[in-house]
Amino acid sequence: MRKRIRSKIARGSAELAILSLLSKQPLYGFEISKRIEEESGGALRFNLASLYPMLYELEKRGWIKGRWESNRAGRDRRYYCLTPAGKKQLAPLRREWRSFFQALDRLAEVSRA
């Protein structure tokens, strides 16, 4: 049970992290994992094994879309961008997580610890 809750939280946070990043600009997989690591100060890290199944899942839901493009070095990369459906999902997802952290904070006084 505990494992299931933990995996749900990890999954939900991963979705939010990816959608938030892609709302700013299209990125390819390696860039996404780097940016998540950098922007979370190293607290969040996605390796290949955790990132791509999530990207494919989000793509199947129609929230993101991948397309092959050449980067500056002339190498082909699959860039992911947010779709209109993904944009629509992002706002309620952010609200849900905000209220989740607020609830957790009220309960465990996390921010004052």
Partner 1 sequence: MPDWRKLVADKLTGLRLPEAQKQEIVEELASHLEDTFEERRGSGLSDSAAMNAALNEVLDWHELRRRIAIAKREERPMNDRTRKLWLPALASVSAAVIFQAGLAFLSYRPEMLFRSHVSQWMYILWLIAQVACGAIGASLSRRAGGGWPARVGAAMTTSTILLTAMIAVAAISWVVRATGIWRPDFGSVDMDIFTRAIVTGVLIPGVALLLGALPFLRSPEGRAAA
Give 55-110 as a DSSP string. Answer: HHHHHHHTSEEEEEEE-TTS-EEEEEEE-HHHHHHHHHHHHHHHHHHHHHHHHH-G
Among 25, 38, 40, 53, binds partner 1 (CB under 8 A): 53
H/E element, 26 = none
Q: Which is nearer to partner 1, 56 or 87 (CB)?
A: 56
CB 52 within 8 A of CB 41: no
Phi and psi dihedrals of 31, rounded to 5? -60, -40
Residues 73-102, one symbol each (x = binds partner 1 by CB under 8 A, - = not), give: --xxxx-------------xx-xxx-xx--
C-alpha–C-alpha distance, residues 76 and 39, integer Å:
25
Q: How far is the CB of 83 from partner 1 (least distance, A)?
A: 15
Among 12, 20, 37, 44, binds partner 1 (CB under 8 A): 12
Q: Which is nearer to partner 1, 25 or 30 (CB)?
A: 30
52 binds partner 1 (CB under 8 A): yes
Residues in contact with partner 1 by CB under 8 A are 5, 8-9, 12, 16, 28-30, 33, 47-49, 51-54, 56-57, 60-61, 75-78, 92-93, 95-97, 99-100, 103
